Structure 1
Amino acid sequence: MYPPDAPDRGRGEWRWQRYLTNVLDPKRLSIVEVVALYDARWKRETSFLLIKRLLDRRMWVGSQNGIWLQVVATFLMYALLLDLCDDVAQALGVQLEAISVEMVYRGLYHYVWQWHRVSTKETRPAI
């Protein structure tokens, strides 16, 4: 059960969570470990979903080596995006969990456009 003040847990109500496991011996796997495993798995699943949705990577090549290179490049882009989110969180003085990876990614286009506009304006000769 989560307490009412736990983040993202509803409207101040207690909520039961159910976990399914085939390990029934609490000496081998405690409930705390089960919750931690589910949490880690859920984070991986949502990371894959975010990568697929934001980066929208389609396979451009058919060879096994080409596909592998695309997968590695996609995960490298995601790692760089998370690093950028960490920098944004640090600059704002908030926790990384408070930063929306999707909003940072979507804001990159506007940031680069504005940066390009300002940098080309400064290099143009004054008339």
Structure 2
Amino acid sequence: MPDEFYFPTEESHKVAYQIGVLCVVWGGVEHLLNALLAHHLDVKDVSYTEIIMGNLDLKRKLAILKPLALINEKPNRYMRLEAALDFIDNTMRPERNKYVHDLSLHAGNIHPYFI
């Protein structure tokens, strides 16, 4: 079915594919963060987990996860986890948002796919 979608150029097809791959991989990152947050919240009922996670954006999840991990983790492990969470929040998240949401993918020009 995706092959039936019209792409004005070969480049636009590649860009759309790459954005799709990025979204799938990012979904895996969010899934792992949700699992980690649920673990630190000690939530056993999946329906509660879905309610909590479904109503928090990624930035809020990270803001909640850090102090919980500080309480629950050994200092050495917390330092590594904090560094990873900071990298996700300050480096990966903005880059992901840029590629998924920005229209100007080529030096300030609107990509032909989006015209």
Alignment TM class, shorter chain as reference: 0.3 to 0.5
Larger radius of gyration: 1
Normalised by the size of structure 1, how large is the TM-score? 0.35
| TM-score (ref. length: structure 2) | 0.38
Relative to its length, the structure with more helix (as a share) is: 2
